[in-house]
């Protein structure tokens, strides 16, 4: 009888430790997220399941074109792409991205832009000064984010700049559906 009780206690301890480890990993290191809506097309599709690396910005800073998850509201996280970094000026003119006056290639949009008809634009003109907050450069500890589907995305053009402390982490791995499993490259 004592042997069975000891065996049960071992199982209970193992389950508690496994649960604790799962809690720690999910809370502090990695978490799943499901893409909700078309704002990141063509890179991400509605319903793509991804892993968010929550640890990425504990030791490092966001980089241009990182795909990030951030707290948009108290109950809603958004997934967008980092376009502008602290200290930079961002503008889009004639469907081209300019950072501090220098044209920057957005290779992830090349195919979509090439399919546009004459006189169509993928991203309407805007500059940092047009965004909520009336900034002339992105302040410290903030980033400018845009969805890849520029015509259908609630991003910094409406929300304003995103404080870095609102970033949950970055994501590169689609793990579901099976036919879309891949690691995203910039």
> d(Cα 116, Cα 20) in Å, to the nearest integer?
51
Q: Looking at 39, 43, 153, 156, which residue is catalytic?
A: 39
> d(Cα 14, Cα 65) in Å, to the nearest integer?
41
Dihedral angle over CA of 123, 141, 34, 28, nearest 10: 160
For residue 69 the two structure tokens come to 């998850």
Beta strand spans in the chain (E):
30-34, 49-53, 67-71, 77-84, 90-93, 96-99, 102-104, 126-127, 142-146, 162-163, 167-176, 182-183
Active site residue 39: yes
Q: Looking at 43, 54, 56, 80, which residue is catalytic?
A: 80
Which residues participate in catalysis according to the annotation? 39, 80
């Amino acid at each position: 009888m004592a042997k069975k009780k000891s065996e049960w206690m071992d199982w209970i301890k193992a389950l508690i430790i496994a649960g604790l480890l799962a809690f720690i990993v999910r809370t502090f290191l990695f978490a799943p997220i499901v893409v909700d809506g078309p704002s990141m097309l063509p890179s991400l599709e509605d319903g793509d399941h991804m892993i968010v690396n929550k640890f990425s910005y504990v030791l490092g800073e966001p980089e241009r074109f990182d795909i990030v998850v951030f707290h948009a509201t108290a109950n809603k996280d958004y997934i967008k792409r980092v376009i502008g970094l602290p200290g930079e000026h961002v503008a889009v003119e004639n469907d081209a991205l300019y950072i501090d006056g220098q044209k920057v290639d957005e290779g992830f949009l090349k195919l979509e832009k090439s399919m546009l008809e004459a006189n169509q634009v993928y991203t309407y003109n805007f500059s940092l000064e047009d965004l909520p907050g009336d900034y002339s450069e992105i302040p410290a500890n903030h980033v400018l984010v845009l969805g890849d589907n520029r015509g259908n995305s609630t991003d910094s053009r409406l929300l304003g700049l995103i404080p870095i402390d609102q970033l949950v982490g970055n994501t590169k791995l689609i793990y579901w559906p099976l036919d879309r499993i891949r690691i995203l490259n910039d």
